[in-house]
Amino acid sequence: MRRREFMVVLAGVMAAASPLAAREKLVTIGFLGASSALSQKERVAAFVHRLRELDWVEGRNVSIEYRWADGRAERYGEFAAEFVRLGADIIVTGGAAAVIAAKQVTSTIPIVFYVAADPVGSGLVASLARPGGNITGMSYVGPDLATKRLQLLRELLPRLVKLAVMANPDTSGAALELREVHKAAPALGLDLIPLLARRAEDIGPAFASLKDAEAIYVCADPMVNSNRPQIVRLALAARLPTMFGERENVDEGGLLSYGPNIRDLCRRAAELVDKILRHVAAPADIPVEQPTRFELIVNLRTAKALGINVPPELLARADEVIE
């Protein structure tokens, strides 16, 4: 073979071996969604967009395997075990229960949570500064968030006394939030009406049992997220103002939300994934991060439908007003 022909053949072999070699073995991310694909679409979009900015592109150097539990906690372990069998390089999920399920099936595959309430108290990590083990991520609940939400409700509804509180007591985050609501309510003169819902089937009967409630506070939970259209619809039918912790509920028609920007947490979780995949740091050494952005969202359309005049001072403080 002549030298020129040999060089052409060699160049072809190298071209086939180098750029494609990077594509032959894609990094696999197992994304365990605690609620539904529809309810988490904005969060996933934020996560994937940030990955792309960090040069992790689906189909080129990364593959994302999605599994959706639809608010059914019994499926977390099943999906986490499936990721282990698939040989996932990293698992991404949200909510303490989903993280615990993943932790129970692997102590070696890195796990990044984009949101979790009280990661230390839930036993996910040893400490925020030094997580230890194979888990790190983004913390969610602050000790004063429930108080702030109740204060906002009081500002909107000065005569509010009877407040229904919907929560799934089996979820650690919702149970923690429920305790904080109970602590904060007496100082604001609020009488709480428990509205417990463990499954989607409990939501309708819970609302049907309400008699004297003047508003409803909904604790964040994957089951709630998967069923937010029904919750919002029933609240509107009962003419109950609603307070949520996550803005997607207000996009759906809820009245108010106050809490961390979850989409921002998902973007920051993608940055932790990038560090781990590039071997910049191990999960054990990556501090759990706290929210830095808190948002007040007001749905003015819903307020008008309920005949509520939102004080100008409250509107002025809102990060976003849906009209």
Helix (H, G, I), strand (E, B) or coil at 289: strand
Sort 72 into a burial class: Cβ within 10 Å, 0-12 / 13-18 / 19+.
middle
Q: Do 112 and 186 belong together in one domain?
A: no
Q: Do 12 and 61 belong together in one domain?
A: yes
Q: What CATH number does residue 161 fall under?
A: 3.40.50.2300
DSSP structural state of residue 220: -
Q: Do 82 and 161 belong together in one domain?
A: no
Residue range(s) defining the domain that contains residue 299? 145-260+295-322
Q: Do 303 and 186 belong together in one domain?
A: yes
Is residue 156 over pLDDT 90? yes
pLDDT at 143: 56
Closest CA to 231 of 194, 256, 196, 203: 203
Q: Encode pLDDT of 182-223 as tens digits.
A: 999 999 999 999 999 999 999 999 999 998 999 999 998 888
Per-residue b/e over 101-114, b at no fewer than 16 CB within 10 Å? bbbebbeebbbbbb
Q: Do 65 and 199 belong together in one domain?
A: no
Pairing between β-strand 294-299 and β-strand 256-260 as defined by DSSP bridges: antiparallel
Sign of CA dihedral 199, 202, 206, 208: positive
Per-residue b/e over 195-230, b at no fewer than 16 CB within 10 Å? bebbebebbeebbeebeebbbbbbbbbbbbbbbbee
Structure tokens at 50: 């940030």
Q: Do 90 and 108 belong together in one domain?
A: yes
Q: Encode pLDDT of 118-150 as tens digits.
A: 899 888 999 999 999 999 999 976 658 999 999
Structure tokens at 212: 């004297």
Distance (Å, rounded) from C-alpha 55 to C-alpha 251?
31
| Residue bearing the bigger pLDDT, 177 or 49 | 49
Q: Do 129 and 239 belong together in one domain?
A: no
Q: Do 312 and 163 belong together in one domain?
A: yes
Q: Do 251 and 303 belong together in one domain?
A: yes
Distance (Å, rounded) from C-alpha 51 to C-alpha 41?
15
Distance (Å, rounded) from C-alpha 96 to C-alpha 103?
10
| Residue bearing the bigger pLDDT, 285 or 176 | 285
3-state secondary structure 247-287: CHHHHCCCCEEEEECHHHHHHHHHHHHHHHHCCCCCHHHCC
Domain count, the chain: 2
Helix (H, G, I), strand (E, B) or coil at 104: helix
Q: Do 29 and 136 belong together in one domain?
A: yes
pLDDT at 23: 43
Alpha carbon separation from 30 to 22, 52, 63, 65, 245 (Å, rounded): 19, 16, 9, 5, 26
Distance (Å, rounded) from C-alpha 108 to C-alpha 80?
13
Is residue 6 over pLDDT 50? no
Q: Do 119 and 165 belong together in one domain?
A: no
Is residue 8 over pLDDT 50? no
Q: Do 205 and 247 belong together in one domain?
A: yes
Q: Encode pLDDT of 270-284 as tens digits.
A: 999 999 999 999 999
